[in-house]
């Protein structure tokens, strides 16, 4: 079932702050859900493996910057974490990423090097995912929420992958407060973080 994003709920009493600010989490946000592996070389046309086509792509240049500087604004970090921590840049084999850690942890990564977009997520992550939800488009861009956490562990983490073109995607991850586990859906909130990132990418693209 597709899951919609109710942005209005984010604005009500800072719901993301309520969920995230008391987290006692440790470690790296992406540690809960392994970064999508680069697929083996393929001649398949994009999209493949069941991934949706990006009907209204953004230019590749929107992912050319530093996610620590461009993915989320200070005001948005205040909503998500209740504070504005400095980002911690992490350059992986798939592209640049940034973690923001206070008492909770949010992460945004740009998958710019594998050039398979959401097709890589569908091919590499879906088979091992314990949580897999195809979302309604986020501002016109296809998105999927997923986690590879075992179902018998606390469900405090979710990652949302958003296709900006058939070749490129970004991931937004969120770790919930231990006190909010089972009281809030981490995938709903990660989708709202992804929506913030899309807003900023669209602004950069001038659309």
Average pLDDT of the segment spanning 186-198: 96
Residues 50-79 have pLDDT tens digits of 999 999 999 999 999 999 999 999 999 999
pLDDT of residue 134: 98
109 is written with which tokens?
């990564």
Residues 84-118 have pLDDT tens digits of 999 999 998 899 999 999 888 899 999 999 899 99
100 is written with which tokens?
């923001």
pLDDT of residue 122: 98
141-147 and 131-138 as β-strands: parallel, antiparallel, unpaired?
Answer: antiparallel
**From CA 177, how far away is CA 17, in angstroms rounded?**
10
- SS3 of the chain: helix, strand, coil, percent, to 5: 30, 25, 45
pLDDT of residue 149: 82
Residues 1-57 have pLDDT tens digits of 444 433 322 322 233 443 443 333 323 334 344 444 444 445 689 999 999 999 999
**From CA 195, how far away is CA 70, in angstroms rounded?**
14
Q: What is the DSSP letter of 59?
A: P
Measured CA distances, 178 to 60, 69, 147 (Å): 37, 28, 17
In this prediction the pTM is 0.82
pLDDT of residue 159: 97
Closest CA to 118 of 3, 204, 36: 36
């Amino acid at each position: 079932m597709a899951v919609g994003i109710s942005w209005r709920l984010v604005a009500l009493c800072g719901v993301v702050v309520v969920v995230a600010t008391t987290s006692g989490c440790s470690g790296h946000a992406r540690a809960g859900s392994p970064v999508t592996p680069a697929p083996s070389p393929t001649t398949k046309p994009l999209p493949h493996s069941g991934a949706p086509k990006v009907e209204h792509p953004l230019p590749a240049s929107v992912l050319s910057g530093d996610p620590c500087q461009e993915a989320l604004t200070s005001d948005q970090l205040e909503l998500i974490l209740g504070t504005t921590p400095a980002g911690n840049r992490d350059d992986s084999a798939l592209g640049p990423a940034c973690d923001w850690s206070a008492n909770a942890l949010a992460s945004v990564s740009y998958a710019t090097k594998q050039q398979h977009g959401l097709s890589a997520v569908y091919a590499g992550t879906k088979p091992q995912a314990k949580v897999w939800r195809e979302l309604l488009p986020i501002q016109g861009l296809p998105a999927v929420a997923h986690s590879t956490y075992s179902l018998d562990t606390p469900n405090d983490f979710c990652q949302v992958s958003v296709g900006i073109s058939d070749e490129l995607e970004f991931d937004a991850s969120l770790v919930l407060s231990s006190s909010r586990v089972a009281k809030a859906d981490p995938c709903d909130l990660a989708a709202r973080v992804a929506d913030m990132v899309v807003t900023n990418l669209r602004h950069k693209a001038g659309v």
